């Protein structure tokens, strides 16, 4: 169990909230992670801080102001309260997830037996399970397909380095952005409910934010649009 004097605590207080930021491109290359790490990522926290005991006893008291620190005091109490709330969400999620591990629950175990937050779970299984609970996940959260591979090659992977595209190993910057847009906007589309479909303009605006030209973004949005959707405003 970590205490107020360990290196991790000192680093967190010196660097502030920035130390909690995950390296998404690196973490996306893992097909399975410990349950605590997945729950941390599900609220945007770095897996290094996936220790419920440390979060409960050290991190939350620091950010909610109940544990005053003369060396590294909170500069913004309101912002600290928001961060403490996020850490509380992590604790709730890791508790719920651990309670739903197979065989008592429906969350499959990838390797070994259930061991609370240390249990290894496939990322794909966690995403499917979390969606069943309507958990919001960060946009950057890895979303492998049912076969265990990634529909979008993580940044940093080279062609032929493991992630397979629908069109083979060939990739370009625009193809990566096209696939990312497909995963971001159309992953949860239900053909039986047109209201779940994004508008072309939503896709275009996001692509433009990623550096895609307006005309190319329009073409890419059209390519991604599901067949048979009615034109005009959706109700």
- Dist CA 27 CA 216 (whole Å): 30
What pLDDT is recorded for position 35? 93
CA distance linking residue 7 with residue 48, whole number of Å: 12
What are the structure tokens assigned to 116, written together? 């609370």
pTM: 0.55
Question: Looking at residues 64-92, what average pLDDT do you find?
Answer: 69
How far is it, in rounded angstroms, from Cα 27 to Cα 21? Answer: 12
Statement: residue 98 has pLDDT above 80 = yes
Q: What percent of the chain has pLDDT over 70?
A: 69
Residue 134 has pLDDT above 60, yes or no: yes
| Domain assignments of the chain as residue spans, ordered by start | 7-132, 173-224
The band of 96, judged by pLDDT with boundaries at 50, 70 and 90, is: very high
Segment of 4-18, 91-105, 147-161, 182-196 carrying the highest mean pLDDT: 91-105
Look at residue 228 and tell me whether its pLDDT is greater than 90: no
160-183: pLDDT as tens digits: 334 445 555 566 778 878 888 887
């Amino acid at each position: 169990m970590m205490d107020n004097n360990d290196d991790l605590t000192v680093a967190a207080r010196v660097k502030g909230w920035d130390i909690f930021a995950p390296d998404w491109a690196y973490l996306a290359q893992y097909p399975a992670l410990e349950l605590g790490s997945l729950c941390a990522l599900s609220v945007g926290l770095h897996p290094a801080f996936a220790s419920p005991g440390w979060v409960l006893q050290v991190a939350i008291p620091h950010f909610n102001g109940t544990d005053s620190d003369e060396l590294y005091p909170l500069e913004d109490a309101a912002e600290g309260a928001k961060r403490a709330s996020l850490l509380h969400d992590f604790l709730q999620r890791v508790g719920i997830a651990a309670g739903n591990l197979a065989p008592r629950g429906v969350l499959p175990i990838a390797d070994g037996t259930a061991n609370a937050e240390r249990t290894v779970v496939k990322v794909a299984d966690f995403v499917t399970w979390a969606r069943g609970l309507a958990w919001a996940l960060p946009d950057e959260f890895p979303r492998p397909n049912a076969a265990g591979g990634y529909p979008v090659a993580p940044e940093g992977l080279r062609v032929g380095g493991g992630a397979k595209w629908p069109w083979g190993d060939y990739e370009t910057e625009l193809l990566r952005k096209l696939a990312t847009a497909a995963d971001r906007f159309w992953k949860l589309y239900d053909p039986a409910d047109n209201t779940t479909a994004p508008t072309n303009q939503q896709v275009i605006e996001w692509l433009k934010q990623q550096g895609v030209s307006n005309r190319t973004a329009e073409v890419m949005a059209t390519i991604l649009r599901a067949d048979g959707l009615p034109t005009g405003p959706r109700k």
